[in-house]
Amino acid sequence: MTAVKPKLCILLNMIAPARVRLYSALAEHFELLVLHGGTEGNRDTWRHVGKTLPNATIVRAWGWQIPIIRRERGQFFDRRYIHITPGYIWHLLKFRPAVVISNEIGLRTIIALMYGTLFRVPVWVWWGGTLHTERKISAVRKILRSAISRRARHWISYGQTSTEYLLSLGVRADTILEIQNAVDESRFATRPEPVFYPEPRPVLLCVGQLVARKGVSLLLHAAAALQKEGRKFSLLLVGSGPDEQILKQLAQDLGLSNVHFCAAQKPEVMPSIYRSGDVLVFPTLEDPWGLVANEAIFSGLPVLCSKYAGCACELFPNENLFDPENPEEFKEKLRATLAGRLMKSDPGRLKTIAQIVTALIHALEQSMDNTLSFRAADLKKGDSGKRIQAQGIGGVGASDPATSKNGDCIGAGAPCMSERIAR
């Protein structure tokens, strides 16, 4: 007789290719429903990603996407989308999951927490923002996040910088499962043939959307300065975006030679793209993490990484970090890179999908077990009304002296849900 899998529902904006293997592994353990708001207009290579998850149910929930233009110093900086997806409510009520994961701190998580309160199931909030990426959010968002941080009892963070932000909201450290934003390392296990063979070498590779937020214009300026010093190298820029023509014109105006622009590629092509370069330069001005860094490390490339990437300090030594907004520092780091003095990347700093899945399953099961224990205790005591009034989100008995705030047992040697993955 086949065992019945517990039901897990994940609420998110859209399905990222980097998460496919992780969700597939979760679907082996849970009956998985992934609810999303639809692929955003600037992610053409992500369309139909859900079809690569045959062992999970993928549903686009009813709602809207509102494009938002973000400006910095009066100039276009980035395009983002606000998802308003009330359809989550219907699907949650229909599916009746035993545990829920919500990928943000906003309306989607409010819906999840309402469901968790009504049906007394644990709700996990998966978060990636950092103190740097969230430094300019509106007062309304600050108030909303403060309220949510007081209600949610289970958190998943991208890494150290995301945990730092959650702690700044007042979230307790023992309620945070710190994993890592990860890619499917198996895609980079082989060494495919390069797609491009630029000359001269070395080839400085930059992968990402062509928007101001990614700092590509700063890379072009620094590269032009080094070419004027007589240094020989090639630039390979892989990505698409609204600034493509602006950046091509800038490269021409700066007199850059040996610079190659390539449109964004599908995930299955990316291992060959990384094989086309010698060094990854990641000049971002703002990124919650920066999965291109993971991909480059698994591809065996050294990485020159902006200090504004969420992954920077967790994955790289100080020698590989720089401030892209400091032109002199940027040029000096590029000189060292071209001279071969950049430190090699350490794959040991990366978490594998298997490690992350193991930690997630353990934490999700622990939260479900705690919820069932509290329900049984309520019935046994015959005092369910009082217990429900004191109940936290996801069935957490916050007033029970034998438990912590997030419902984990603090006696009898029970494992803590925020147990870190061993590196």
pLDDT tens readout for residues 135-182: 999 999 999 999 999 999 999 999 999 999 999 999 999 999 999 999
Q: What is the mean pLDDT of residues 328-343?
A: 97
The phi, psi pair for 123, rounded to 5°, reads: -120, 125
Banded model confidence at residue 402, pLDDT cuts 50, 70, 90: very low
Q: Tell me the H-state helices in 12-169.
A: 20-29, 87-95, 107-119, 139-151, 160-168
Banded model confidence at residue 343, pLDDT cuts 50, 70, 90: very high
CB of 274 within 8 A of CB of 205? yes
pLDDT (0 to 100) of residue 83: 86
**In the predicted structure, residue 419 carries a pLDDT above the cut 50:** no
Q: Percentages helix, strand, coil for the chain, rounded to the nearest 5?
A: 40, 20, 40
When computed from its CA atoms, the radius of gyration of the chain, rounded to whole angstroms, is 23
Higher pLDDT, 400 or 32: 32
Tokens 């293997």 belong to residue? 21
Residue among 315, 362, 269 nearest 158 (CA): 315
pLDDT (0 to 100) of residue 23: 95
Q: How many CB atoms sit inside 10 A of residue 397's CB? A: 22
**In the predicted structure, residue 4 carries a pLDDT above the cut 70:** yes
**In the predicted structure, residue 397 carries a pLDDT above the cut 80:** no
Cα 205 to Cα 189: distance, rounded to the nearest angstrom: 20
Mind listing the pLDDT tens digit for each residue in 74-120? 778 888 888 889 999 999 999 999 999 999 999 999 999 999 999 99
Mind listing the pLDDT tens digit for each residue in 353-364? 999 999 999 999
Dihedral (CA of 289, 110, 52, 6) sign: positive
Topology adopted by domain 7-184+352-397: Rossmann fold (3.40.50)
**In the predicted structure, residue 7 carries a pLDDT above the cut 80:** yes
Q: Which helix (H) or strand (E) holds 292?
A: helix 291-298
**In the predicted structure, residue 400 carries a pLDDT above the cut 60:** no
CB of 275 within 8 A of CB of 299? yes
pLDDT (0 to 100) of residue 383: 56
Superfamily of domain 186-348, CATH level 4:
Glycogen Phosphorylase B; (3.40.50.2000)
**In the predicted structure, residue 307 carries a pLDDT above the cut 70:** yes
Banded model confidence at residue 375, pLDDT cuts 50, 70, 90: low
What is the domain partition of the chain in residue ranges? 7-184+352-397, 186-348
**In the predicted structure, residue 377 carries a pLDDT above the cut 70:** no
pLDDT (0 to 100) of residue 72: 84
Mind listing the pLDDT tens digit for each residue in 249-284? 999 999 999 999 999 999 899 999 999 999 999 999
Helices and strands, counts by H and E, the chain: 13, 17
Residue among 158, 124, 129, 159 nearest 361 (CA): 124
Common-topology check for domains 7-184+352-397 and 186-348: yes
Higher pLDDT, 97 or 414: 97
Mind listing the pLDDT tens digit for each residue in 185-227? 999 999 999 999 999 999 999 999 999 999 999 999 999 999 9
Q: Give CA separation, 108 vs 20, 63, 123, 125, 221, in Å.
A: 21, 11, 12, 10, 41
Residue among 46, 309, 267, 376 nearest 158 (CA): 309
pLDDT (0 to 100) of residue 197: 94
CB of 378 within 8 A of CB of 387? yes
